[in-house]
Amino acid sequence: MKIALIGASGFVGTRIINLLKDEPDRYECKNIDLLPSHFFNDLTVIGDVREQEQMDRELAGADLVILLAAQHRDDVTPTSLYYETNVGGMEVTLRAMEKNGIRRIIFFSSVAVYGLNKKNPDENHPKDPFNHYGKSKWQAEQVLERWYESHPGWNIDIIRPTVIFGERNRGNVYNLLRQISSGRFLMVGSGENRKSMAYVGNVVAFIKYMIDNITEGYNVFNYIDKPDNNMNQLVSHVSKVLGKQIPATHFPLWMGMLGGYCFDLLAMLTGKKLTISSVRVKKFCATTEFDATKVHSCGFKAPYTLDEGLARTLEFEFVHPRPDEITFKSE
């Protein structure tokens, strides 16, 4: 099977290619990305998902498209880039697929389409995205919905992962684990808010499962590794894995938000992208639980538990010597 991955030079895409390359007799991968790949440059073509002629050319011969390309950071400017890439890129991809006779696509969306502080939403929950990333992902899904209405013979699979963590990732979960492991962790709020997470090794295993088994119709899956931890439990787990007592100092929410707004102002005045912002404080303090019944009852078996994924990440990042300094930035 020839698989065209769009935007696979990053964290998740690299792990997908790494998994599929172990079976070269079954999968032939090609990566189309604006950036070169740290590990699979021999499979990578520099390309832009917004460029129709280029996508028409690069998707030729593929049997399946996996679309990961996205603007995903909280601080993308101008905000029109979210929609040009995440929505416009979807439209370009579908037209290129049709031109090349490709009828299967796996699209990486996000639980951001549901919005903040929703009560354990499943795949049918009303959509209420609160930021441009979530809004653009939901608009891209709507493009797919309309496309399937006029192309009912296609196989369209959508995965809505929660926050993904793992080895080499430099996103919100890594920043959180680093702060906890340092022993200088400042907890905003009570710590009872629950956080859905997904270990990258499980996410890519599910992608492979979809490639092999979910080959018909229009399908949407939340992806979350269960059970969810609250913030206090996460601190306790990190302490256990690292074998040290880690205290957590609690601050009230209003104080945390005030600090976030101060960092927003500082970022605006300096023109720098900072690791703390009011949006990130708000996301940190929110309960982000999502229903994953569908994905865990479809026949897929995750290779790792959530605690095993956390332990593997902590040991790679903070216990064992690093093999190199290659990392991937995300949210």
Amino acid identity, residue 118? K
Sheet holding 218-223: strands in order across? Answer: 44-46, 28-33, 2-6, 64-67, 104-108, 155-161, 218-223
Show which residues are catalytic: 133
pLDDT at 244: 83
Instruction: Please name which of 164, 237, 228 lies closest in space to residue 202, comparing C-alpha atoms.
Output: 164
Q: How far apart are CA 230 and CA 22, in angstroms?
A: 36
Compute how many other C-beta atoms are within 10 angstroms of the C-beta atom of residue 1: 14
Whole-Å CA distances, 76 to 29, 85, 185, 331: 29, 12, 27, 12
Pairing of strands 155-161, 218-223: parallel
Contact 134, 110 (CB under 8 A): yes
pLDDT at 175: 86
Whole-Å CA distances, 196 to 156, 193, 209, 305: 25, 10, 21, 13
* pTM for this prediction: 0.91
pLDDT at 288: 82
pLDDT at 24: 95
Mean pLDDT by 10 residues, the chain (331 residues): 98 98 96 97 97 98 97 84 96 98 98 90 96 96 98 98 96 87 82 92 98 97 95 89 80 88 92 82 83 97 96 94 90 64
pLDDT at 246: 78
pLDDT at 331: 64
pLDDT at 213: 97
Pairing of strands 225-230, 194-199: antiparallel
- Which 3 state secondary structure label does DSSP give 194? strand
Architecture of domain 2-165+196-225+290-304: 3-Layer(aba) Sandwich (3.40)
